[in-house]
Amino acid sequence: MRKCIQILTGMALVLSLPGLLLTGGAGTSQHQSFEVASVHIEQNATDGDMEVVFQVKGGDDGLVRLKVISPDGRPVIDFKAPDPSTMGIKQFRMESPEPGDVAGLKAAYPEGVYVFDAATAAGDEFHGESTLDHTLPATVSFLTPEPEAENVRVDDLEITWTPVEDLAAYLIEIEQEELDVSIQARLPGSVTKFALPDGFLLPGKEYKLAIGTMTEEGNLSFVETSFATAGNEQGDH
């Protein structure tokens, strides 16, 4: 399924999911806050895929130990570096399988608070929590260009879609695999259009377009399509 889109500000940005910076509770003064510690669901509605995603980053140093405990007390992640001399792992993105049995996936990863604990080779400890909610946002419908559109203009093109209520953000990606070029952006939940910079689209090429909806809890629903540009710069839309 489509992986979590990297978010760009202009042409180079970074995704920040909500609820990631969390401190330890009382009596854990030696615990530091994770820079990132989150769990959320991602759905590719076009393909019918769904997965649970964990993202973790302690800080500048690598983590040699990481454990995540589910709301029902099961360890769902239990990582330990075989040798601290490896410097550990600085950042994790771990994805569940994408079974056709959605009910089974939800049972394996129940709703509730997931507890994150980790340590670096230097002995610095991290503690945090993130709440998983199974609620997925509604998806958008593509307006312009229309799905599978042909002869799309290469200049002054504005991507538009139907609005979805109560979103934290829209995520958009346009890519051309042959040329290995793409644009990714995170947009406010109140926005329903995105103007492509002139010069990005080339005549006679096929582009993939994905638009994701993101909840305040970080859950994502993507829809995908493609469109082809006109063979010359006189294409209409």
Token pair for 126? 């991290």
What pLDDT digit, counting tens, does each position of 123-145 carry?
999 999 999 999 999 999 999 99
Collapsing DSSP states into helix, strand and coil, what is residue 68?
strand
What amino acid is encoded at 39 in this protein? V
Mean pLDDT, the chain, rounded, equals 87
What pLDDT digit, counting tens, does each position of 48-81 carry?
999 999 999 998 999 999 999 999 999 999 999 9
Contact (CB, 8 A) for 62 and 90: yes
Residue bearing tokens 């839309």: 237
- Comparing 11-15, 45-49, 175-179, 211-215, which segment has the lowest mean pLDDT? 11-15
Distance CA 228, CA 237 (A): 10
pLDDT at residue 6 above 90? no
Cα 141 to Cα 88, 147, 190, distances in angstroms: 43, 9, 15
Task: Transcribe 168-215 into DSSP letters.
Answer: SEEEEEEEETTTTEEEEEEEETT--EEEPPTTSS-TT-EEEEEEEEE-
Distance CA 130, CA 34 (A): 11
Q: Which domains does the chain carry?
A: 31-132 (2.60.40), 142-229 (2.60.40.10)
**pLDDT of the residue at 45:** 95
Scanning 22-127, the segments in alpha helix (DSSP H) are 102-108
Cα 52 to Cα 68, 75, 96, 226, distances in angstroms: 13, 15, 5, 26
pLDDT at residue 25 above 70? no
**pLDDT of the residue at 85:** 86
Selection from 130, 115, 20 nearest residue 74 by Cα: 115
